[in-house]
């Protein structure tokens, strides 16, 4: 069983309505956290792009992840207990997606580094 910071599988999904953000969540969120949410048909959710929550930070070199709004994360995220059956199901179902996300982030970082290298250096 990995530590959550070595995992992040439950923060990967394609569906826009995967993590609901309730009024009680909004109350604890500051502007930066709220920027990772959006409202669809009158309901607020965490924004998911490229198969993962936009609040999830990836460090492909270290193989680590971090919820960048951890103290302000929605209740839905707090309810999933590490080591529970649901947690294990998430890991079993999503580990390949998590690995693909890490690889994509590593490629994006490499491209960004190449683009920021001055010509002739
Ligand atoms: S709760 Fe489970 S699936 Fe989610 S990050 Fe932690 S170990 Fe991974
Ligand atoms: S808010 Fe944090 S814990 Fe919840 S899905 Fe997004 S990155 Fe994961």
| Mean pLDDT to the nearest integer, 80-100 | 95
Q: What integer pLDDT is reported at residue 96 of this predicted model?
A: 94
Alpha carbon 75 to its chain centroid, in Å, reads: 15
Of all residues in the chain, the percent with pLDDT exceeding 90 is 76
Look at the chain and report how many structural domains it folds into.
1
Range of the domain at 25: 4-109
Flag whether 116 is in a domain.
no
* pTM of the complete model: 0.89
Integer Rg of the chain from CA: 16
Flag whether 50 is in a domain.
yes
Flag whether 121 is in a domain.
no
Flag whether 100 is in a domain.
yes
Q: Nearest ligand to the C-alpha of residue 54?
A: 2
pLDDT digit string (tens) for 39-69?
A: 999 999 999 998 899 999 999 888 899 999 9
Flag whether 118 is in a domain.
no
pLDDT band at 119 (very low <50, low <70, confident <90, very high): low
Q: Are 6 and 82 a contacting pair, CB within 8 Å?
A: no
Residue nearest to atom 1 of ligand 2 (CA): 73
Q: What integer pLDDT is reported at residue 67 of this predicted model?
A: 96
Flag whether 26 is in a domain.
yes
Flag whether 68 is in a domain.
yes
Residue nearest to atom 6 of ligand 1 (CA): 4
DSSP 1: -
Q: Are 82 and 65 a contacting pair, CB within 8 Å?
A: no
Residue nearest to atom 1 of ligand 1 (CA): 82
Q: Nearest ligand to the C-alpha of residue 90?
A: 1
pLDDT digit string (tens) for 94-117?
A: 999 999 999 998 998 888 888 877
Q: Are 38 and 44 a contacting pair, CB within 8 Å?
A: yes
Flag whether 53 is in a domain.
yes
pLDDT of 38 higher than 80 = yes
β-pair type (37-40, 64-67): unpaired
């Amino acid at each position: 069983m990995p530590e959550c910071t070595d995992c992040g599988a439950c923060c990967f999904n394609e569906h826009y309505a995967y993590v609901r953000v309730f009024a009680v969540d909004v109350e604890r969120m500051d502007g930066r956290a709220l920027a990772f949410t959006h409202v669809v048909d009158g309901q607020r959710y965490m924004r998911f792009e490229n198969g993962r929550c936009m609040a999830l930070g990836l460090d492909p070199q270290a193989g680590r992840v971090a919820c960048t709004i951890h103290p302000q994360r929605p209740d839905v995220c707090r309810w999933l207990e590490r080591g529970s059956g649901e947690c294990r199901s998430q890991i079993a179902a999503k580990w390949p997606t998590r690995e693909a996300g890490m690889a994509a982030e590593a490629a994006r970082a490499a491209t960004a580094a190449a683009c920021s290298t001055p010509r002739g250096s």
